[in-house]
Amino acid sequence: MNLLTKADILSARQRIAPHVNHTPVLTSETLDREWNSQLFFKCENFQKAGAFKSRGAVNAVFSLSKEEIKKGVATHSSGNHAQALARAAQLRQIPAYIVMPENAPKVKVEAVKGYGGLITFCKPTLAAREETLNKIVKLTGATVIHPYDNIKVIQGQATTVAELIETVPDLDLILCPVGGGGLLSGTALSALYFSPGTQVIACEPKGADDAYRSFYSGKWIPSENPKTIADGLLTSLGKITYPIIREKVSAIVTVEEKEIIEAMRFLFERMKIVVEPSAAVTLAAVFSKKVNVDRKKVGFILSGGNVDLNHLPFNE
């Protein structure tokens, strides 16, 4: 039995449509010629709050019951989920309690504040983050919205590829980044329901390859001291996302840091779009020949565009 049905994903599309962007799909003549293929880039860097995370956050917040909604939502995150959840809560005019490590980048803190998020700072450890979050939940009764291991979040992320498949049917492959697996498990389910002939291949930085190791060993192995510039992909697969990925994803490939940087530079320089390193792992998998796209029709999920412009990795 699948946790999410085709109808669930269709209803999420309707639920979130007024509050998120139907993002464009871009192509590159240069890439298509060079790789003898047809490549389609789903630009979630143009999504509200700069990343696909807005889809899951809006879906989760707009799925809350009347009782739940009164007490607001909470999460711990220093990344795109924090911004997306604060924005979704603002749309429903409810509080969003965001626990952030005290060393979180100023630009991220400002973005969460900009969406009206109520920030509580804590020590930069997972234990401190969880403890602080638990304390807030006890005080407020807020509903915790996990960044990826939450069925409503996965349902929202699944709309990304449902949209892509509608715009570009008959894809041979979809390349998707993997961190905690919310986007990837949603992608795998949408491919299954809306384009059953399409294979999903996950792309992961070698420095944070827990999904790769979990997938090929057949047992869940969390990250230990992951290290990569793709800061959206540091997390480990979750209890809900891992089984979906193990069953529905065709393969996982890993890429090196320099390959991520090269792909990111190409996306800026030739395609004229601002993407974060986590988004570039997909194209990096092609540049490094980890995935063969010859004569294939391939979709890429460019997951987000929230990057520190003062420290672009190809300039460091």
Smallest gap, in angstroms, from Cβ of residue 116 to its own copies?
14
Spatial separation of the C-alpha atoms in residues 96 and 116, rounded to whole Å:
8
For this structure, is 53 an active site residue?
yes
Phi, psi of 26 (to 5 degrees): -105, 155
- Candidates 68-76, 149-157, 185-193, 266-274; binding stretch for its own copies (CB under 8 A): 266-274
Amino acid at the residue 280: A
Name the strands in the sheet holding 143-144, side by side, starting at the edge strand that comes first in the sequence. Answer: 118-122, 96-101, 73-76, 143-144
Note whether 241 and 182 are within 8 A (CB).
yes
- Give yes or no for residue 224 binding its own copies (CB under 8 A): no
The single residue of 53, 108, 152, 290 carrying the catalytic annotation is 53
E strand or H helix at 25: strand 25-26
Q: Could you say which of 32, 243, 273, 297 contacts its own copies (CB under 8 A)?
A: 273
Looking at residue 33, its amino acid is R
Site string for its own copies, 48-87 (x = CB under 8 A): x-x-------------------------------------
CA of 165: how far to CAs of 110, 151, 223, 315, in Å?
A: 35, 21, 32, 35
Q: Which of 45, 143, 241, 303 binds its own copies (CB under 8 A)?
A: 45
Instruction: Exactly one of 37, 78, 185, 214 is catalytic; name it.
Output: 78
# residues near its own copies by CB under 8 A: 22
What is the rounded distance in angstroms from the CA atom of residue 169 to the CA atom of residue 227? 36
Stretch that binds its own copies, among 42-50, 53-61, 207-215, 223-231 (CB under 8 A): 42-50
Instruction: List CB contacts of 257: < 8 A, sequence separation 6 or more.
Output: 205, 206, 207, 228, 229
The verdict on 312 binding its own copies (CB under 8 A) reads yes
- Helix or strand (DSSP H, E) at 249: none
Report CA dihedral (198, 26, 183, 152) to the nearest 10 degrees: -100
Name the segment binding its own copies (CB under 8 A); options: 69-77, 205-213, 221-229, 269-277.
269-277
Question: Which CB, 177 or 305, lies closer to its own copies?
Answer: 305
Contact 207, 257 (CB under 8 A): yes
For residues 9 to 28, the per-residue mask of contacts with its own copies, x marking binding by CB under 8 A and - elsewhere, is: ---------------x-x--
**Residue 91 binds to its own copies (criterion: CB under 8 A):** no
92 touches its own copies by CB under 8 A:
no
Burial of 121 from C-beta contacts in 10 A (0-12 / 13-18 / 19+): middle
Q: Decide: is 269 part of the binding site for its own copies (CB under 8 A).
A: yes
Q: How far is the CB of 310 from its own copies (least distance, A)?
A: 6
Closer CB to its own copies, 7 or 309, in the complex: 309
In this chain, which of 179, 277, 305, 313 binds its own copies, going by CB under 8 A? Answer: 305
Chain residues that interact with its own copies, rule: CB under 8 A: 24, 26, 29, 43, 45-46, 48, 50, 265, 268-269, 271-275, 305, 309-310, 312, 314-315
